């Protein structure tokens, strides 16, 4: 499996919450149109790292970041970068599906209309349809677009949230344990969707489910206590890890 070109280049990244040094000097290249999985025990920094990639940690008052996250040759932490524009390019799908208390249609249309990406009417209708199709949920909702998104099942809500993320035309989609609240059938649909989406997007996902990482990820990064212990092609991480800690985690000796 060949490496694609680097999409996100993380250099000497450190993060503190107040006095607590939560991420230590991380260096990692994330490749375009691939799925990168972040694995490791709870509280080891995976989600914190994920949130560094779209400046979500800016919302935490005690968080302080040093180092660089370079996306397409621009450090998103540079002074002249607006974090709202970063979050438009780097979408986020959360662990718990979180549709807005609006109709299915408005869930998808809201941000593109607000950002002026489309005009109301036919243009917006087309974007909503395209986004719902890309998220693999159009057939299930096309006749109930005016009904509330919160009325869908958990798995459908999560695909609606993916459609909402896609609608603002990001380059990168971050997923924070996107299937941990879902049943096995919904999980399978989301995994199939991820494999489909990587043709158009770069995906970084946090997962506690090692089988999931093995099934969907091209690259896997193993985190432990704020350190990046090992990062390699998924197959190598699972079959022939270089670090004993990685092997211990994967074989279930700790975690």
Does residue 239 surpass a pLDDT of 60? Answer: yes
Q: Are 71 and 250 in contact (CB under 8 A)?
A: no
- 223 secondary structure, DSSP code: E
Q: Are 204 and 175 in contact (CB under 8 A)?
A: yes
User: Residue 56 maps to which CATH number?
Assistant: 3.40.50.300
| Number of structural domains in the chain | 1
Q: pLDDT tens, 44-90?
A: 999 999 999 999 999 999 999 999 999 999 999 999 999 888 988 99
Q: How confident is the model at residue 252 (pLDDT cuts 50, 70, 90)?
A: confident
Beta-sheet pairing, 74-75 with 63-71: antiparallel
53 lies in some domain: yes
Does residue 99 surpass a pLDDT of 70? Answer: yes
Q: pLDDT tens, 106-133?
A: 999 999 999 999 999 999 999 999 999 9
41 lies in some domain: yes
1 lies in some domain: no
255 lies in some domain: no
144 lies in some domain: yes
Predicted local confidence at residue 4, as pLDDT: 87
52 lies in some domain: yes
Q: pLDDT tens, 185-233?
A: 999 999 999 999 999 999 999 999 999 999 999 999 999 999 999 999 9
- State mean pLDDT over 19-43: 96
Q: What is the pTM of this model?
A: 0.95
Provide the residue range defining the domain that includes 175. Answer: 6-250
Q: Are 234 and 218 in contact (CB under 8 A)?
A: yes
Predicted local confidence at residue 2, as pLDDT: 56
DSSP string, 87-124: HHHEEEE-SS----SSBHHHHHHHHHHHTTSS-TTHHH
234 lies in some domain: yes
61 lies in some domain: yes
Rounded distance between C-alpha atoms, residue 127 and residue 125, angstroms = 6
Does residue 255 surpass a pLDDT of 70? Answer: no
Rounded distance between C-alpha atoms, residue 71 and residue 76, angstroms = 7
């Amino acid at each position: 499996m060949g490496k694609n070109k680097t999409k996100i280049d993380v250099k000497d990244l450190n993060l503190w919450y107040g006095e607590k040094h939560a991420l230590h000097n991380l260096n990692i290249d994330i490749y375009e149109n691939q799925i990168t999985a972040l694995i490791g025990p709870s509280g080891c920094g995976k989600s914190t790292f994920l949130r560094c990639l779209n400046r979500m940690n800016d919302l935490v008052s005690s968080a302080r970041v040093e180092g660089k996250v370079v996306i397409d040759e621009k450090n998103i932490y540079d002074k002249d970068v607006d974090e709202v524009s970063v979050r438009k390019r780097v979408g986020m799908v959360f662990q718990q599906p979180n549709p807005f208390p609006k109709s299915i249609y408005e869930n998808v249309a809201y941000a593109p209309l607000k950002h002026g990406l489309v005009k109301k009417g036919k243009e917006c209708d087309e974007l909503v349809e395209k986004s719902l199709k890309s998220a693999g949920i159009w057939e299930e909702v096309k006749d109930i677009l005016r009904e509330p998104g919160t009325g869908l099942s958990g798995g459908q809500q999560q695909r609606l949230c993916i459609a909402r993320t896609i609608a603002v035309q990001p380059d990168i989609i971050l997923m924070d344990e996107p299937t941990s609240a879902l049943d096995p059938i919904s999980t399978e649909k989301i995994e199939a969707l991820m494999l489909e989406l990587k043709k158009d997007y770069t995906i970084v996902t946090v997962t506690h489910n090692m089988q999931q990482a093995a099934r969907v990820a091209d690259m896997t990064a193993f985190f432990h206590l704020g350190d990046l212990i090992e990062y390699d092609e998924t197959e190598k991480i699972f079959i022939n890890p270089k670090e004993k800690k990685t092997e211990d985690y994967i074989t279930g000796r700790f975690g």
